[in-house]
């Protein structure tokens, strides 16, 4: 590990200023410290952002939820009111890693975490994600990799929160220099679709401040995932769905798959197909087919297809259960 300076920022502007000269933001450290130890990152400065005022707060009122970037996943998963109003989100948080990880890991760090591809994480492999010329998963071991990609990198987006927040149509508020921008989750990840080296659309020094989530009356949400281990593991495939539910009928529906693409995977045709229809086993199956229509499995990951079909169907059915 290289030597680095460590500073604690008191305002978003100072955090950005302090990170300017080859610095990185540090929140819970669950991802970044691993990268430092494996020599995947060697920043000159670690800028602790956990002291930024108001960023550890959860607010829920007037049909809106605001989550500070430094809310821990443990706090999110255990929040009684959020568990009632946004169960898709709290369940996604509860499924992350292990209790120890959830007590440190933050919302902002979870969204900005880097690839878990085993080639990217190997210090001696210079893959496309590190600016190299090969995606080793294409000819190598692709068990955990994407079914869809717009570029030569097969590393999938594995942030649980990204999947749930995309289904909930959340906005991510990002400080860029002296101004703030409000991004959809799709915008937050768009660059990873066609730029092999991108983990998300954030440029160095852009800071997630908070998440804003609409939580109107009648909204239902759900999240399910399948992993090899019940703890200390990432999802092989995850799914989140949200919609307004009247009787058995869904409106404003969004279904999102995780760990199958470098972005949270949404298919407009599937959402449109479900819109205004009573949800049945058959409509849920049809939506799953639409979501997976263009899948291109690599050598070892075709097993994800039946898992994804089952998760889409079961997650949707949870909305009307
Ligand atoms: C064994 C294990 C199992 C795991 N399982 C899962 C899982 O199932 N699902 C899942 O989603 N994750 C999983 N994770 C990943 C874990 O959730 C993330 O590492 C964690 O959420 C990152 O949050 P953090 O606060 O620790 O981020 P840090 O490690 O501090 O930062 C992560 C990245 O985000 C950047 N960053 C931090 N805060 C901000 C901000 N406010 N604005 C912009 N950039 C920021 C940092 O610079 C860094 O690049 C697992 C991790 C481990 C070690």
The burial class, CB within 10 Å (0-12 / 13-18 / 19+), for 321 is exposed
Dig out the tokens for 102 from the structure: 């959830």
170's tokens = 């959340």
Mutate to test the pocket of ligand 1, among 110, 117, 238, 240 (most ligand atoms within 8 A of CB): 110
Neighbouring C-beta atoms of residue 34, cutoff 10 Å: 15
The pLDDT tens digits of the residues spanning 245-262 come to 999 999 999 999 999 999
Write the DSSP assignment of 130-155 as a string of letters.
GT-S--HHHHS--TT--S--SSS--P
Nearest to 89 by CA among 211, 202, 249: 211
Burial 208-224 (b: 16+ CB within 10 A, else e): bbbbbbebeeebbbbbb
Query: What is the per-residue pLDDT for 132?
Result: 97
Find the 161 Cα to ligand 1 centroid distance in Å.
Answer: 10
Q: Which residues line ligand 1 (CB under 6 A)?
A: 24-32, 49, 69, 96-97, 101, 104-106, 108-110, 112-114, 158-160, 202, 207-208, 232, 234-235
Task: Please list, in sequence order, all residues whose beta carbon lies within 8 angstroms of the beta carbon of residue 155, skipping any fewer than 6 positions away.
Answer: 115, 116, 117, 120, 129, 137, 145, 146, 262
Ligand 1, atom 48: closest residue by C-alpha: 32
Separation of 110 CA from ligand 1 center, angstroms?
4
Q: Which atom of ligand 1 is nearest to the CA of 24?
A: 47
Across residues 89-100, what is the average pLDDT? 98
Atom 19 in ligand 1: which residue has the minimum CA distance? 31
pLDDT in tens, 179-190: 999 999 999 999
User: What pLDDT, on a 0 to 100 scale, did the predictor assign at position 165?
Assistant: 98
**pLDDT confidence of residue 2:** 86
Tell me the pLDDT tens digit for each residue of 263-286. 999 999 999 999 999 999 999 999
Ligand 1 pocket check: which of 102, 112, 183 to mutate, most ligand atoms within 8 Å of Cβ? 112
Q: How far is residue 60 from each of residues 18, 53, 77, 79, 319, measured CA to CA in Å? A: 32, 18, 15, 11, 21
Measured by CA distance, the residue closest to atom 27 of ligand 1 is 109
Distance CA 255, CA 279 (A): 13
Assess whether pLDDT exceeds 80 at residue 124.
yes
Residue 227 alpha carbon, nearest atom of ligand 1: 8
Q: What is the average pLDDT value for the chain, to the nearest integer?
A: 97
pLDDT tops 80 at residue 175: yes
* Structure tokens given for 78: 């255990």
d(CA 109, ligand 1 centre) in Å: 4
pLDDT of 62 higher than 90: no
203 confidence band (pLDDT: 50, 70, 90): very high
Please indicate, yes or no, whether the overall pTM of this predicted structure exceeds 0.95.
yes
């Amino acid at each position: 590990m290289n030597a680095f300076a460590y500073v604690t920022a008191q305002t978003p502007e100072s955090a950005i200023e302090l990170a300017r000269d080859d610095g990185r933001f540090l929140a819970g450290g669950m991802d970044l410290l691993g990268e430092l130890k494996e020599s995947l990152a060697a920043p000159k400065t670690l800028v602790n952002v956990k002291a930024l005022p108001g960023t550890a707060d959860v607010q829920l009122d007037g049909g809106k939820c605001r989550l500070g970037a430094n809310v821990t996943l443990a706090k999110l998963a255990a929040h009684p009111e959020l568990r009632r109003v946004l169960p898709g989100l709290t369940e996604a948080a509860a499924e992350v890693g292990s209790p120890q990880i959830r007590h440190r890991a933050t919302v902002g760090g979870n969204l900005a975490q880097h690839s878990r591809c085993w080639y990217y994480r190997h210090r001696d492999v210079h893959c496309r994600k590190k600016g190299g010329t090969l995606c080793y998963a294409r000819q190598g071991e692709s068990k955990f990799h994407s079914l869809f990609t717009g570029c030569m990198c097969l590393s999938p987006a594995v942030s649980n929160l990204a999947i749930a927040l995309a289904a909930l149509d959340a906005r991510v508020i990002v400080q860029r220099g002296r101004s703030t921008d409000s991004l959809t989750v799709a915008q937050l990840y768009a660059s990873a679709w066609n730029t092999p080296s991108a983990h998300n659309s954030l440029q160095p020094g852009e800071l997630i401040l908070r998440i804003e989530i609409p939580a109107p009356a009648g909204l239902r949400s759900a999240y399910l995932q399948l992993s090899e281990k019940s703890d200390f593991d990432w999802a092989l495939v995850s799914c989140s769905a949200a919609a307004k539910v009247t009787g058995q009928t869904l409106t404003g529906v969004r279904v999102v798959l995780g760990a199958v693409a470098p972005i949270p995977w949404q298919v407009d045709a599937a959402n449109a197909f479900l819109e205004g229809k009573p949800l049945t086993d058959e409509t849920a199956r049809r939506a799953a087919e639409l979501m997976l229509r263009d899948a291109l499995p690599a050598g070892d990951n075709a097993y994800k297809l039946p898992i994804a079909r089952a998760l889409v169907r079961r997650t949707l059915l949870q909305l009307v259960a």
